[in-house]
A and B are shown apart, each in its own frame.
Chain A
Amino acid sequence: MRLWRPGLSRIVQLIVTLWGASVVIWSMILLAPGDPARRLLIARGIPDPLAEDVAAARRELRLDQPVVVRYVRWLGDVVRGDFGASWRTNRSVLSEFGDRFGATAVLGVATMVFVVVFTVPMTLIAARWRERWPDKVMQVGSSIGTSLPSFLVSLVLLHVVVLEWGWGQVLSDGSVGSVWLPASALSIGVAATWTRLLRGGMVGVLDTSLADICRSRGAGPWRIMTRVALPNALVRFLPFMALTVGALVGGAAVVESVVDWPGMGAYLVDAINARDLPVIQAYVLLATVAYVVTANGADVLARRLDPRLGIER
């Protein structure tokens, strides 16, 4: 059996996919109704501009050039790391993101910590007493958990915990101290999904002869759970965890804007409301790159850890 490696073809395919994504994302600007130059000015707070302002904006947006040229120049800039400037602030989109990346990173890490801290014990308990009441409670819980839209959870937390009980603050400052609120709102749905899937994965491993072998060696149920079932289920689960990253970048945008978390997600919603197209484009593009890289990385990692996965497919 040969160790599976990410081949050149995979990398080429990845680049082609990302290029395709860049075409799709850039083309969104063409879908936007109305004159982009006017939209730029509206985004800058000039709703009723003079003709000369509009003309200047048209030049700024290179609207006088053919579509293909505009795309190619945009792509050229992007490849060099220049995502353009926000229509509202005229600042480089990357530096706008830079200001907010910290808060989003804190939220992302906290959410993952919450999810793992919740998921792993719950899954162990559910799989240990499968088909018994802890498992059933967990299944009902995860059904409900996946049905709670995160904006609702954050709304309820904000009102009950912050306002009624006086814990924490309404205006988050993006620090670790106030991250619990958006992180819990974001993690409930993810944790519910993960618990369900990971439980399925663990049960799957427990039903294999590997688990029987371990039992026959005299290992106790917890040892099998923690040393065999969980690690193996986690490896198979890695690609799915990466898919969660994709779901999180969307979910974070909603939650961040509900609880006023000063991160990139709230900034995106803000940009959407102001139709700040360069920001929207850059955000979606960067999120796509992050997502694709994470997903492929997780896939590669999982196959490295358990080469059988590559063969089964």
Chain B
Amino acid sequence: MTNASVVLDIATLDVTYPNGTNALRGVSLRVGTGERLAVIGESGCGKTTIARTILGLLPSGSRVAGSAIVAGSDVLALSERSHRRLRGTTIGYVAQSPYDAMNPLWSVERNVAEAWRAVGCQPPTGHVVAALERLGINDAAARIRQRPFAWSGGMLQRAAIAAATAHRPALLVADEPTSALDAELASDILELLDSTSVALLIITHDVHLVAQHVHRIVVCYAGRIVEDRAALDICEQPRHPYTRALLAARIEPGRPLGVPLDGDPPDLSQPIVGCSFAPRCPVAVERCLTEQPGLVDGVACHVVNDRG
């Protein structure tokens, strides 16, 4: 119980998957009450691992060290059963593809109601319809009888948000919630996410899209946080060379990170000495290859920090 206003407090989190991939390497971050935080990076940078760790969805056999305190409980120290009690009620989750998030055999209503049933209760009468209408589904009462394939992606994502926020969770984790949607819809969805939760952790690769919706952005690279600053600051003045490259690249869904960077991200099954980004970094100095930079003023880079 460090601070009542801190909803999520991750400290020196280290995660290794059963296949040996060391996906997170000493990650620390905090989300306060009412705060909206985006974790940004290429695929494989470990951002999804953060979400899975919080939710307890890591594959069995993963090795985890550090702590991840959600609303006062360290989820890493909890039994599976106690962790499960937090899910749905204290931690909400919105996934990437709304189609995959819905059980195709159930009606939308049944899918949303599962948020209650999964924790052993029934949705209050009219609650599902009301929640969906609040989220902008017209004629929800009639439509919820339909099965998911009859709904559009945007509508389904709203339904998914309704389910994820059914119990007004303290923290809502959204993993690429808009990648399956077109830009305008994505913006709507992000706004809805803003409005529904106490604290929000968005995992995304699209820095431009989320910038105006979140307070703070954390940039991940190869399992480490390289930059952690206010959203507007990062967008206007990225400081870490990686962030700069990230922002310079016009990232579109389904396209790999483009032009400015040569080389590949490092092999995550091996230990990394020095800065993970050093081999690709245009400004790297000798020290970058031997000494791991710490996060100073929200940036982990020897060059930037030395420059002051």
Contact = CB atoms under 8 A, between A and B. Distances in A.
Contact of A223 (B57, B99, B118): B118
A231 B115 CA distance: 18
A216 B93 contact: yes
Residue from A219, A220, A306 whose CB has the most chain B CB atoms within 10 Å: A219
Nearest to A307: B149
B150 interface: yes
Contacts of B74: none
A231 B105 contact: yes
Interface string A235-261: 100000000000000000000000000
Interface in B62-114: 84-89, 91-93, 95-97, 99-105, 114
Given A223-B118, A307-B149, A308-B149, A216 B103 contact: no
A209 B119 contact: no
B55 interface: yes
Contacts of A231: 103, 105
A218 interface: yes
B135 interface: no
B96 A218 contact: no
A306 B100 CA distance: 12
A5 to B, nearest CB: 14
Contact of B163 (A1, A217, A223, A232): A217
Given A215-B57, A216-B57, A217-B93, 4 more contacts: A216-B91, A217-B114, A217-B118, A232-B104
Contacts of B103: 210, 214, 227-228, 231-232
A307 B104 contact: yes
7 contacts: A1-B150, A215-B84, A216-B55, A217-B118, A218-B88, A232-B105, A305-B105
Contacts of A227: 103, 114
Contacts of A223: 118
Contacts of B96: 209
A214 to B, nearest CB: 7
Interface in B27-71: 55-57
Going nearest first, the 8 A-B pairs with the smallest beta carbon separation are A218-B88, A216-B93, A219-B118, A1-B149, A217-B118, A218-B119, A217-B88, A218-B87
Say what secondary structure dominates the interface of chain B.
mixed
A68 interface: no
Contacts of B86: 218
A208 B95 CA distance: 11
A213 interface: yes
A218 B84 contact: yes
Say what secondary structure dominates the interface of chain A.
helix
- Interface residues on chain A, size class: 20 to 34
Nearest to A215: B57
Interface of A: 1, 208-210, 212-220, 223, 227-228, 231-232, 235, 305-308
- Interface residues on chain B, size class: 20 to 34
B71 to A, nearest CB: 14
Contacts of A1: 149-150
Residue from A213, A306, A307 whose CB has the most chain B CB atoms within 10 Å: A213
A278 B101 CA distance: 55
A200 B103 CA distance: 18
A73 to B, nearest CB: 49
Residue from B84, B89, B91 whose CB has the most chain A CB atoms within 10 Å: B84
B95 A212 contact: yes
Nearest to B86: A218
A212 B99 CA distance: 13
A208 B96 CA distance: 12
Nearest to A223: B118
B84 A220 contact: yes
A217 B149 contact: no
Contact of A219 (B91, B114, B164): B114
A213 B149 contact: no
Contacts of A307: 104, 149
B105 A210 contact: no
